[in-house]
Amino acid sequence: MNDIGRAAVVTGLGAWVPPTVLTNEELAGRLDTSDEWIRSRTGIRRRHVIAPGEATGDLAVEAGKRALKSAGASSADVVVVATSTPDHPCPATAPDVADRLGLTGAAAFDIAAVCTGFVYALGTAAGLIASGFAQSALVIGADTFSTILAPGDRTTRAIFGDGAGAVYLRAGSAAEPGALMGLHLGSDGSRRDLIEVRAGGSRQRSTGLPAEEADTYFTMAGRAVFSQAVRNMAASVRSTARLAGWDTEDVDRVVLHQANARILAAVADQIDLPADRFPSNIDRVGNTVAASIPLALADACAAGDVRPGQRVVLGGFGGGLTWGSVALVWPDVPAVGPDHAPGS
């Protein structure tokens, strides 16, 4: 990450989804939708959802525990939780997650960049390691969007699922496998209204008026977001490959935020790479927001589709609008996931 060759190196990967599965058929029994519509428009067949009383922090702890196990680590100087569905508006979720993982005393904070959150969190933690502030970091992406979707909204209910994924980083050399490089991050706040929860923040609370119920739920202008997602992720992947010193065609795997199977195909088309270089688990988990990239990565590693030595780019796009990507040569690291995913 810097000129003197010190870098953040991935040495652990963990994933977790709650055991409860919600199929398209079950959704079609409650909403005006169908398995056929959801599968053909998004590629999603099912998603996992939390049980009543569960929260994002619970999923983050499970994923974090597995990343620590994968790395063979029991300490971390920094714990970052990327989430847009924190356990509480205040305080951040990360200090509690760190404490529950036995990492009390670590610097712990949340990052909110919606579906790009995991890449922003990786970049932030990598910077803390590269600068010498930290020797190690646990970076977790976790979200429970099932808690902020309007019960009757077929356009969002069909898409989102709950989950968490995590990587462990330690200080190392920029030359070793697993070293993060070629970080590219961006935003366009002028399009913030395309993906939002209107109420619940200081802008609404300062009016002194109660929130309209509809404004307390998540909304997304799907069609407008689609084209932005394709354009910005394609450009970001190209930039990251260039920053890493690679030609785009030399990238072996592009693990993108799983928003829609058609978006993955369109990005592949736009950057002229074969679609089979884009691992996907969206059919089994849906869009899991900040958890999406590490969950897809863990599934692809477990399936042997992402292998040690491959040139990999991780890329995301989401509310803000925000986007970003980062490159690494995949290290020899085992993915530790839940027994009930992804095959159940």
Catalytic site residues?
A: 115, 257, 287
Cα 160–Cα 234–Cα 259 angle in degrees, nearest 5: 5
Nearest approach in angstroms of CB 77 to ligand ACO is: 29
Nearest approach in angstroms of CB 287 to ligand ACO is: 6
Task: Give whichever of 317 and 330 is closer to ligand ACO, judged by the CB atom.
Answer: 317
Task: Give whichever of 115 and 130 is closer to ligand ACO, judged by the CB atom.
Answer: 115
Short-list 336, 255, 253, CA closest to 297: 255
Nearest approach in angstroms of CB 211 to ligand ACO is: 20
DSSP state of 303: T
Helices 222-243 & 261-270 angle (0-180, nearest 10): 50
Q: How far apart are CA 226 and CA 38, in angstroms?
A: 15
Q: How far apart are CA 15 and CA 281, in angstroms?
A: 13
SS3 328: strand
Nearest approach in angstroms of CB 235 to ligand ACO is: 15
Q: How far apart are CA 110 and CA 287, in angstroms?
A: 20
Nearest approach in angstroms of CB 232 to ligand ACO is: 10
Task: Name the token pair of 214.
Answer: 């509809």
Half-sphere exposure of residue 16: CA atoms within 13 angstroms, side-chain side = 22
Distances (CA, A) of 161 to 47, 143, 272, 322: 5, 8, 30, 20
Task: Give whichever of 101 and 122 is closer to ligand ACO, judged by the CB atom.
Answer: 122
The DSSP string of 81-122 is EE-SS-SSSSS-SHHHHHHHTT-TTSEEEEE--GGGHHHHHH
Positions touching ligand ACO (CB under 6 A) are 33, 37-38, 41-42, 114-115, 154-155, 158-159, 195, 220, 222-223, 225-226, 229, 259-260, 263, 287, 289, 317-319
Contact in structure between 139 and 77 (CB atoms under 8 Å) = no
Task: Give whichever of 10 and 285 is closer to ligand ACO, judged by the CB atom.
Answer: 285
Task: Give whichever of 70 and 93 is closer to ligand ACO, judged by the CB atom.
Answer: 93
Nearest approach in angstroms of CB 267 to ligand ACO is: 11
Task: Give whichever of 34 and 248 is closer to ligand ACO, judged by the CB atom.
Answer: 34
